[in-house]
C-alpha cells in the first residue's frame, strides 16, 4: 500500500524522534513522508539541526498517517492552540494517529488519546491519565488506530511496526536491513527497571521542574 | 573525563549516522560536540534536514575525538582533497579516530585505517581492503585508538561504547536511559545473515552502481 505520513514539527522537537522513523520510511519506495509545521520556516531542534518543513498546517488537511515527535520542545506545541486544533481536525480523519516519545502527550492534549491505551517516554507515563489515556509501559502500544512509541530510540521500533502495517513485513524487513538495525547496546540500561538506580534518580531529579510544567499544561481545564 | 568530539559534515551525509551518537553525547554533561565542515554554510542531508556546522576545518586543528558519518554523500568527501587532508592531519593527533557506517571508507581514503581492523555498513565491507583495512563484520570494532561502527543505526551502540571509554560506564548508562534505548525490533532482519534473502538481493542490486563508483574512488592510485 502507498501512504502519506505527515510528521509534525514544532520548535525544539527531539531530532532523533523524527530522524529514526523518517530514515526507515525513506527506505520504502511506496511511502511518502511530509514534514509539516505551522509556518514555512526552518524549525530548530536540539543539536544544531534545523529542519525545513515540506508543507504547512493550512496546506495539508488530509493525511493517511499522522506522526508527532516529542522532546523538550513539546511545551511549544502544548501551548499552541493552532497546533492542537490542526491535530484534532486532521487526526479525526487519519487512518493512523501515532507518536514517538512524549509526542503522545501532544496527541493527548489534542483529545486524540481519550479512552486509548498509549505509551510515552518512561519519565512521562504518569502524565498520560491527565489526557484520558491509559498508560502502558511497553516499547510500542497499538490500540485500534493509535500507535504510540516509547522514548526517543523507540522511534526505530515504531517505524518498523508502522511500515509492516502499511506495506507488509517484507517492506519493514528491507528497511531494517538497509539501516542495519541489528541493535547490540553495550549496556542494559535503557529503562528504569534495568538501569542503575542512581542513574534513574539523577534523571528524575533533573526533570522535576519540566515535568511539573507539563503537568500544569495538561491538567488545565 | 571531559572531551571534545568533532563530527565531520559533508554534503548529503546520512542524518541518522550523526543524530544517533550526537543525541547520546548531548546527554553527557562533560562531553562537548562540535560539528565541522569545510565551510560555514548549512550542509544538506537526506530527509530535508540541514545542519549548520559549529565550526570549519580552518578553525579546528585539534580534537580529542574525530567522528566521520557515512551515507550516500560519502562520494563528496572522497572527492574532496581538502576534506581528506584535514582528516589526515587532525586524525594523526586525535585521541580517538572513529566512524559510523560508510564513514570508515572516508577515514580509509585519508589513510587513517591502514593496518587496522575496521567495520562499515555490511554492503561496503568488501571495500575496506582497498584502503588497507581488515574488514570485520561486527557491530563495533575497536583496534587501538580506532573505533568504527556498522551501518547507520550502529551509531547508537557506537555512541554508548565511546561514552563509556571517555567518561565511564555510568555516563553511558545514564545516556542510554535518557534516550530509552531498550531496542525491541519487531523483525530480525538487520543483517544479511538474518534478513530474507530476497531483501538482501534487492538491496545489493539496487546499489551496484554506487558501490562501483566507491570502488573506483577508493582504488585510485
CB contact under 8 A, B182 and A150: yes
Residue B84 lies in domain:
3-218
A-B Cβ pairs (cutoff 8 Å, strict): 214
Interface with chain A: mutation pick from B181, B192, B195, highest number of A CBs within 10 Å: B181
Q: Which residues of A touch B50 (CB under 8 A)?
A: 42, 49-52
A65 pLDDT above the threshold of 70? yes
If you write DSSP's letter for every residue of B5-52 in order, what string do you get?
A: EEEE--TTB-HHHHHHHHHHHTTSTTEEEEEEESSSS-EEBGGGEEE-
Q: Which residues contact A53 (CB under 8 A, 6 or more apart)?
A: A9, A35, A36, A37, A40, A41, A43, B48
Answer for the pair A61, A89: CB distance below 8 angstroms, yes or no.
yes
- Among the partner-chain residues B51, B154, B177, the one whose CB lies closest to the CB of A49 is B51
Give the pLDDT confidence score for residue B178 in this predicted structure.
98
CA B194 to chain A, closest CA, distance in angstroms equals 9
Residue A23 forms contact with B (CB below 8 Å): yes
Would you call A167 a catalytic residue per the annotation? no
A220 pLDDT more than 80:
no
Which residues are paired to A65 by β-bridges? A5, A96
Q: What is the pLDDT of residue B12?
A: 96
Q: What is the pLDDT of residue A221?
A: 56
B20 → chain A, closest CA residue:
A16
Please determine, for residue A46, whether its predicted confidence score (pLDDT) is greater than 80.
no
Cα dihedral across residues A173, A166, A88, A23: positive or negative: positive
Q: What are the C-alpha distances in Å from B186 to residues A140, A163, A169, B86, B98?
A: 10, 11, 9, 41, 30
Closest CA to A47 of A13, A74, A81: A13
pLDDT above 90 covers what percent of chain A? Answer: 94
- Mutation to test the A interface, candidates B188, B189, B194, B197, most A Cβ within 10 Å: B189
Nearest chain B Cα distance for residue A221, angstroms: 30
Average pLDDT of chain A to the nearest whole number: 96
| Length of chain A counted residue by residue | 221
> Into how many domains does chain A fold?
1
Which residues lie closer than 8 Å to B120 by C-beta, 6 or more apart? B70, B99, B101, B102, B103, B104, B105, B127, B128, B135, B148, B150, B151
Q: Give pLDDT, residue B1.
A: 66
- What mean pLDDT is predicted for residues B161-177? 98
Contacts of A189 in chain B (CB under 8 A): 172-174, 176-177
Contact between A199 and B160 using a beta-carbon 8 Å cutoff: no
pLDDT beyond 90 at B221: no
Summarize chain A as % helix, strand, coil (round to 5): 45, 20, 35
- Beta strands A43-44 and A49-51 are antiparallel
**Nearest CA to CA, how far is A198 from chain B (Å)?**
9
Instruction: Identify the weakest region by mean pLDDT among A7-21, B6-20, B45-59.
Output: B45-59
Where is average pLDDT lowest: A31-40, A189-198, A205-214, B212-221?
B212-221
> Distance between CA atoms of A101 and A8, rounded to whole angstroms?
13
**Rounded distance, CA A168 to CA B217, Å?**
37
**CA–CA gap between residue A183 and residue B24 (Å, rounded):** 15
| Best CA proximity match to A156, nearest among B84, B181, B26 | B181
Q: Which residues pair with A141 in a beta bridge?
A: A148
> Please, what is the average pLDDT of chain B?
96
Give residue A48's pLDDT band: very low, low, confident or very high (50, 70, 90): low
Q: A159 in helix, strand or coil? A: helix
Q: By the 8 A CB rule, do B195 and A176 touch?
A: yes
Mean pLDDT calculated for residue range A53-75: 96
Residue A89 parent element (H or E): helix A81-93
Q: What is the ipTM of this complex?
A: 0.96
Instruction: Write down the pLDDT at residue A1.
Output: 66
Q: How far apart are CA B203 and CA A215, in angstroms?
A: 46
**In this complex, do B195 and A177 lie within 8 Å of one another by their Cβ atoms?**
yes
Rounded to whole angstroms, how far apart are CA atoms B57 and B35? 10
Q: Could you tell me the sign of the dihedral formed by the alpha carbons of B121, A20, B207, A168, in that order?
A: positive
Specify the 3-state DSSP secondary structure of B99. Answer: strand
Question: Between chains, do B160 and A185 touch, taking CB under 8 Å as contact?
Answer: yes
Tell me which of B37, B148, B186, B205 to substitute to probe the interface with A (most A C-beta atoms closer than 10 Å). Answer: B186
Mean predicted confidence (pLDDT) in B148-170:
98
B131: left (phi over 0), alpha (psi -120 to 50) or beta: alpha
A66 in Cβ contact with A91 (< 8 Å): yes
Residues B99 and B190: beta-carbon distance below 8 Å: no
The pLDDT tens digits for B119-156 are 999 999 999 999 999 999 999 999 999 999 999 999 99
Cβ atoms A21, A158 nearer than 8 A: yes
Banded pLDDT at A49 (limits 50, 70, 90): confident
Dihedral angle, C-alpha A6, A19, B124, B24, nearest 10 °: -170
Q: Out of A22, A47, A121, name the one closest to residue B180 (CB).
A: A121
Task: Report chain A residues whose CB lies below 8 A from the CB of B156.
Answer: 153, 183, 185
Does residue B174 sit at the A interface (CB-CB below 8 Å)?
yes
Helix or strand holding residue B96 (H, E): strand B96-99
Domain with residue A13: its CATH number is 3.40.50.880
Cβ of A153 and B181 within 8 Å? yes
Asked if B177 has any chain A CB less than 8 Å from its own CB, the reply is yes
- Whether pLDDT at B103 is above 90: yes
Amino acid at each position: 500500500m502507498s501512504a502519506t505520513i505527515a510528521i509534525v514539527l514544532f520548535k525544539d522537537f527531539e531530532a532523533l524522534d523524527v530522524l529514526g522513523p523518517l530514515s526507515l520510511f525513506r527506505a520504502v519506495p511506496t511511502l511518502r513522508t511530509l514534514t509539516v509545521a505551522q509556518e514555512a520556516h526552518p524549525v530548530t531542534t536540539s543539536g544544531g539541526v534545523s529542519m525545513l518543513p515540506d508543507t504547512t498546517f493550512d496546506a495539508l488537511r488530509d493525511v493517511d498517517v499522522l506522526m508527532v515527535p516529542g522532546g523538550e520542545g513539546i511545551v511549544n506545541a502544548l501551548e499552541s492552540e493552532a497546533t492542537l486544533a490542526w491535530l484534532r481536525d486532521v487526526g479525526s480523519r487519519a487512518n493512523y494517529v501515532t507518536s514517538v516519545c512524549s509526542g503522545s502527550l501532544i496527541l493527548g492534549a489534542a483529545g486524540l488519546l481519550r479512552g486509548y491505551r498509549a505509551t510515552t517516554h518512561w519519565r512521562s507515563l504518569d502524565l498520560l491519565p491527565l489526557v484520558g489515556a491509559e498508560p502502558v509501559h511497553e516499547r510500542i502500544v497499538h490500540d485500534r488506530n493509535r500507535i504510540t512509541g516509547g522514548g526517543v530510540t523507540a522511534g526505530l521500533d515504531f517505524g518498523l511496526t508502522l511500515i509492516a502495517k502499511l506495506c507488509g513485513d517484507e517492506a519493514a524487513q528491507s528497511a531494517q536491513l538497509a539501516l542495519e538495525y541489528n541493535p547490540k547496546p553495550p549496556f542494559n540500561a535503557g529503562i528504569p527497571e534495568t538501569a542503575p538506580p542512581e542513574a534513574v534518580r539523577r534523571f528524575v531529579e533533573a526533570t522535576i521542574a519540566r515535568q511539573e510544567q507539563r503537568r500544569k499544561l495538561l491538567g488545565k481545564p
